[in-house]
Amino acid sequence: MSQSIIKFLRQTDYGFIRELGQGACGQTVLLEDVFLDKQFVCKKYSPQLSELRSELFQGFTREIKLLFDVYHLNIVRIFNYFVFPDKFAGFIIMEYVDGENIDDYVARQPQKINDVFQQVIDGFCHLESKGILHRDIRPSNILVRKDGIVKIIDLGFGKQIAQKGDFEKSITLNWWCDPPKEFGSAKYDFSTEVYFVGKLFERLGSSRMLNNFENKSVIGKMCQDDPAFRIASSSSVRQQMGTKKFSETAFSEREIEAYRGFSAAVSNHITKIDGSAVYQKDPDMFHRALEDAYQKVMLEEYAPDCAPILRSLLSGTYYYKRDYFPVEALGEFLIFLRSCTDDKRRIILANLHTKLDGIPRKKPIDPDDEIPF
């Protein structure tokens, strides 16, 4: 069945702000969408070697297709593209990451290395679940925003694995560390990705002398030169990260009581959740939103409207009972949350998600005492 082409005559106007850099395959600039009043990165395909223009164009278009296939907090997002195949030219409009590379961020905030490592593994787990190899893992391609969110960028050398034979083909780059053993056989697979991520954090940990890095034993297994002795995938890395001793993540009775008081208040006030609603997965954003909500009601016995409290946990459409949310339960929970490590906060948020999973997903029959959000 043939498809008709719909053409939009109105173009999007962008204001030029500044140049960001020049790579082997093109130039990047910072633009502003005049209508949205938001900044974006534009990557222009413009290889330094003109004789490679047609050859490298395939990698540029591959990056567009790969980025459109992934949507994850820790992977840079693509918003639009303009491709001119007959001229081997094109542009990608991408998310602007206002931050710095992982080396500089950890140098400034070494106490954040465990959280950064968790986010990097989460991002590569998502790429792995989509069958995508990044193939150019280096510090300059892992950025950290000012709010601490990790962003994996530059999938220009990336490749989606369709069949086993695709693993056999490697690429030639100037590697920043010793290549693994499988390069001698021209192989690159997800185990190789694990190796380079491990090497990156091995260098970060040793150069900064980070005694607080909790995953040194996992890093050692990731950095094995021989893939036969190496952790095979990012998902396996994440599993091994979760096998810590119980004592490291144990909660006291008082902490459990504070958690249960808050979780009970939440589940008592949310009555229905639409299937399109999305849970908050970032512990820092969850904590900040709760602190903001608490400051506005801390002198009250009950929150007059608990919407700001519930918004810290989920967004989208849900139904809730507006009033009588106990402020004391929120305050006790925040005292507990402030004292928690990053690992404990992730556990707390995961448990709250489980609590929300138990709330019905159907729309209410009688909306008189419930407010759609």
CA 332 to chain centre: 30
CATH superfamily of 14-95: Phosphorylase Kinase; domain 1 (3.30.200.20)
The whole-model pTM stands at 0.62
Closest to 115 measured CA to CA, from 149, 80, 164, 158: 149
Closest to 96 measured CA to CA, from 33, 162, 34, 49: 33
Which CATH fold topology does 99-243 show? Transferase(Phosphotransferase); domain 1 (1.10.510)
What angle (nearest 5°) sits at the alpha carbon of residue 132, between those of residues 214 and 150? Answer: 40
Q: Please, where are the H alpha helices in 298-373?
A: 307-311, 327-338, 342-357
Which residues lie closer than 8 Å to 6 by C-beta, 6 or more apart?
none
Beta bridge mates, 314: 279
CATH 1.10.510.10 domain range(s) in the chain: 99-243
CATH 3.30.200.20 domain range(s) in the chain: 14-95
CB 209 within 8 A of CB 203: no
The Cα 350–Cα 353 span in angstroms is 5
CA 223 to chain centre: 23
Per-residue pLDDT of the chain (373 residues; tens, 9 = 90+): 566 777 666 677 889 999 988 766 678 899 999 888 899 999 888 776 777 777 778 877 877 887 787 888 899 998 888 888 888 888 989 899 999 999 999 999 988 898 999 999 999 998 988 888 888 899 999 999 998 999 999 876 555 444 444 444 445 456 888 889 998 888 889 999 999 999 999 988 776 556 778 888 899 999 999 999 999 999 889 888 865 544 456 788 899 999 999 999 999 999 999 877 888 989 989 999 999 999 999 999 999 999 999 999 998 888 999 989 999 999 999 999 998 888 788 889 989 988 898 888 755 444 444 555 4
